[in-house]
Amino acid sequence: MTSTRTPLSQNPSAVVMVRPDYFGVNAETAPDNRFQTTEAAGDRPKAIAEFDAMKAALRSAGVTVMSFRQEREDTPDAVFPNNWFSTHHSGLIVQYPMLAQSRRRERRRDVFEALAKFHEITGIVDLAGNEEHGAYLEGTGAVVFDHQERVAFMARSQRADTGVLAKLCETLDYVPQVFTAVDRAGVPIYHTNVMMSLGEKTALVGFDSVPYPDELLLLRRRIEATDRLLIELDNDQIAAFAGNALEVDGCDGPVLVISRRAWNSLRRDQQADLERVVAVVTPELSTIEKSGGSARCMMAGIHLPLKKSATA
């Protein structure tokens, strides 16, 4: 089941984060994001404090963080930049089509310009035009990439179009694997990355959310064929954002970034297994999580090659 193509590094070498200076819970995204809370009055200072503490914890763990201020007040979800762009080992940057109008306003050129100062960028693949046709693919929220096996996992939802995924996989030379994932009520999970996290050393996967046996079997086989430590998540852990984690490279090895709420939802034996293979950073994100995303959503991973001058 594994790919015969040359594996790529799984973990990002750095992350982009956007400080939530105008944080708010986005009513426009609430209809299909069941992880979202309705009230956030007075939460802006708390969200900013959580962001600043997380950024400091990542840097203390040896993770390179490129931090940007939020530009516009009419972008309440700007703290989740992983949805509108992704970066790739070939030097490509992909810009994605977003369902909500407010989320489309998050796209900004200065992020790409900052990346270009230190990284080789070979081109920008702009998929945003698919918005005109009602076809959306919300970045590494909708798609969980296995760079080592060159597989793009995607759970079906109105934010995850199979046709757009097919175009992306053709461009990147990846294999798509599409499946259904639902919550306890049978409602599609809005983003794949709330039930699945794949790192170099770890895989946190909510198999309980996949209702169709044939799709579950294929997904399980694909994940179990790798050498990753597999942590199987139940529905309570998925609801606590345990799947919304990201393994990143620190100066001393891989670091798993997972919110405190998500970490506390894991059993002690699961925590111990993870701590044996990665360092763990557990930021307190209870305010930011009201917006329906957690630690992974706050980090856009950087996989671009460094410029030769940056490595000299």
Report the predicted TM-score, pTM, of the whole model to 2 decimal places: 0.92
Fold classification of 14-307 is L-arginine/glycine Amidinotransferase; Chain A (3.75.10)
Domain ranges of the chain: 14-307
In the predicted model, what is the mean pLDDT of the chain? 92
d(CA 19, CA 24): 12
Residue 44 pLDDT class (50, 70, 90 cuts)? confident
d(CA 155, CA 141): 10
Average pLDDT over residues 42-58: 92
Residue 306: count other Cβ atoms within 10 Å of its Cβ.
14
Instruction: Indicate whether 310 pLDDT > 70.
Output: no
How confident is the model over 81-98, as pLDDT tens digits?
999 999 999 999 999 999
Sign of CA dihedral 214, 219, 222, 225: negative
H/E/C letters for each residue in 37-89? Answer: CCCCCCCHHHHHHHHHHHHHHHHHCCCEEEEEECCCCCCCCCCCHHHCEEECC
